[in-house]
Amino acid sequence: MYPKSFQKLIKNFSSLPSIGPKHAERLVLFLFKKSQEDIKDFSENLLDIKNLQFCKRCHNISEGDICQICANAKRDQKTVCVVEDPLDVISIERTHAYHGVYHVLGGVITATEKDDSLKIPDLFERIKKEGIAEIILATNPTTEGDMTSLYLKRKLHPLGVKITRLGRGLSTGADLEYADELTLSEALTNRKELL
């Protein structure tokens, strides 16, 4: 059996998504073999995560009030790509095919309830305040993602903003996070206007 401190770390790592006890055990053993300096650097970086926050404009992860994407004057500030979570922003950014800004919902509407914690009211406010020209609905092609897009389309239509949806190079049930850059790039290029 492992020492208590080793077991505590295994328990900590096991609490992370997609990491089971065996994987956690391997991670702790890997860290155990690292130098004191590497461990110190790792732990400092881990503590620094608490200095991050959500962008006050788009709800992406940021080091300040406004994220680097929103603050970039070279980005198309009138085109907003609506995604479920920050991992989707990273996936789309890797394509180098999109030059607008984002709005992170923080999840999706489920069949049983409309989540009040979603950043949907903030999106409506942005459209009205900032004169947004186009909304690209880039929710995952899942039942919940499609339901969220349909809900947003119905609510956004009266605002007179152009609403498009990613082209279907993406398989139904897929997550943007796992799509390759070419597929995502083509989905952006072939997006369809929702009338």
pLDDT tens digits for range 97-134: 999 999 999 999 987 766 678 999 999 999 999 999 99
User: Does 80 share its domain with 33?
Assistant: no
29 and 124 assigned to the same domain = no
pLDDT in tens, 42-73: 999 999 999 999 999 999 999 999 999 999 99
Residue 104, C-beta contacts closer than 8 angstroms, at least 6 positions apart: 54, 58, 59, 60, 83, 84, 85, 86, 88, 89, 119
38 against 2, higher pLDDT: 38
Is the same domain home to 88 and 172?
A: yes
Q: Is residue 66 part of a domain?
A: no
In a domain, 67, yes or no: no
Q: Answer whether 164's CB lies under 8 Å from 192's CB.
A: yes
Has residue 84 been placed in a domain? yes
Q: Using alpha carbons, select from 98, 100, 91, 92 the residue that is nearest to residue 58.
A: 100
Q: In terms of pLDDT, which residue wins out, 138 or 117?
A: 138
Q: Domain of 27?
A: 4-51
Task: Tell me, yes or no, whether 44 and 133 share the same domain.
Answer: no
Q: Report how far apart the first and last C-alpha atoms of the chain are (Å, whole number).
A: 62
180 within domain boundaries: yes
Question: How does pLDDT run across 3-42, given as a tens digit for each residue?
Answer: 999 999 999 999 999 999 999 999 999 999 999 999 999 9
Query: For the segment 142-190, what is each residue's pLDDT rounded down to a tens digit?
Result: 889 989 999 999 999 999 999 998 876 666 666 777 777 767 777 777 7
- Dihedral through CA 134, CA 135, CA 138, CA 141, nearest 10? -110
Question: Is 106 in the same domain as 157?
Answer: yes
